[in-house]
Amino acid sequence: MPDDFTLFKRNGRLFYARFFDDHGRLVTTRSTGQTNEKAARKWARLKLDEELLIKSGKGLTFQEYALDWWLWDRCPYIKRRRLRKKSISPSYADTMRSYLENHILPYFGPMRLQKITSADIDDWFDSLLEKPGRKKPLSTVTVNNVLRCLKIMLAEARRRRLIAQNPAQDIEPIEGGSAKKGILTLEEVRALFDKTAMALVWGGDRLHYTLNALACCTGMRMGELQGLRIGCVQDDYVQVFWSWSRRYGLKRPKRDSMREIPVPGKVAEHLQELIGFNPWGEETDFVFFSYRREAPVGDKGITGNFYRALNSIGISEELRRERRLSFHSHRYLFNSTLRNRVAETKLRALTGHRSEAMSDRYYVLSRHDLEDVRRITEGFFTPS
């Protein structure tokens, strides 16, 4: 079968390719960028393949393209990331699928994939912020996340040569999307966890008192606290090997950030006391247990008890909302207190935040390395 192109040299150096349609008519002439005929012929064949692939997607609607997107066992994009050991989790996929179904498909679903333009995406992006009739407007963070979902999908369509260009490539997210979160003061922390607090602030609830104290002095995420097992509690540190998901159960921590974090003496004592009250008591059982052995205490119970404790020390619901306080504020306090007081590399190793520097991958903390962290977090509970 003859080629659908011919090669010729221009200025005695570079090869150019003339491309023809099915009727033998000249369509276009392009530089191959090659000075070698074999390389030029290879370039021209690849370009033909690319054009054929793009032609094959001409009738594809966005809804057809999106059929398996973000479904954990069916989405080719997810499978490719997992094969290449790239960070992605089922809960992340669920969130992105929700964005797709609720905010992207209603607008782009019937459109031909190749007909979507940057102007279409601009109009859609504006509508996310301005859509009338919505009971609660989308936050800027959510709008930016929905845009990111679409960008990933269209970038993948471009990679697979279903479209010639990615129309979302130059669409900018809204700036200032993440509102600054609030943190507790040191005086408020001590009011939450002083000698009388378990009875007066936490209503005698040893589990929620200890869970919050541990969150405060380690910066552990809620799921990591829920996933903490008895065998991971040592005399003066905890091992963060697991996280809990309401839908998927036990899983590895975010971005596989397994780590060991020192615990102040007072909190270590409360942990051991709580373990002594555990109705199950095996090393694989949850430290922060529930009435069901197979699951830890739930999200609603954790946040509800935390908010009631805040109210007990004078932080009303109105003030809490105004200050943007949440359970995650424990993590912000830990991170903010240690920043500039310990090495940044050490802080990232303790919090499990992603590090950009390759050398950080090989940074290992010894027990001696953590003594300064323990001294700082001891100060959360005891005035110096």
Over the stretch 196-237, which tens digit does the pLDDT of each residue have? 999 999 999 999 999 999 999 999 999 999 999 999 999 999
Contacts of residue 332, Cβ cutoff 8 Å, sequence gap at least 6 = 181, 182, 183
Cβ atoms of 45 and 3 closer than 8 Å = yes
The verdict on domain 62-159 having CATH code 1.10.150 is: yes
- Among residues of the chain, what percentage have pLDDT more than 70? 88
CA 157: distance to chain centroid?
22
Query: In 10 A of CB 75, how many CB atoms?
Result: 21
Nearest by Cα to 288 from 235, 332, 229: 229
pLDDT given for residue 108 in this prediction: 96
> Per residue in 256-305, pLDDT tens?
888 999 999 999 999 999 999 999 999 999 999 999 999 999 999 999 99
As a whole number, mean pLDDT of residues 119-142 equals 82
Reply yes or no on whether the pLDDT at 30 is more than 70.
Answer: yes
Relative to beta strand 259-262, strand 249-251 is unpaired
CA neighbor of 154 nearest in space, from 69, 73, 88, 86: 69
> Do 346 and 365 form a contact (C-beta atoms < 8 A)?
yes
Euclidean distance between CA atoms 293 and 291, whole angstroms: 6
Q: Which structure tokens are listed for 345?
A: 């590399």
259: left (phi over 0), alpha (psi -120 to 50) or beta: beta
Give yes or no for a contact between 29 and 19, defined as CB atoms under 8 angstroms apart: yes
What CATH code is assigned to 186-378?
A: 1.10.443.10
Write down how long the chain is.
Answer: 384
pLDDT surpasses 80 at 324: yes
Q: How many CB atoms lie within 10 A of CB 5?
A: 22
Q: Identify the band that residue 348 occupies on the pLDDT scale cut at 50, 70 and 90.
A: confident
pTM for this entry: 0.71
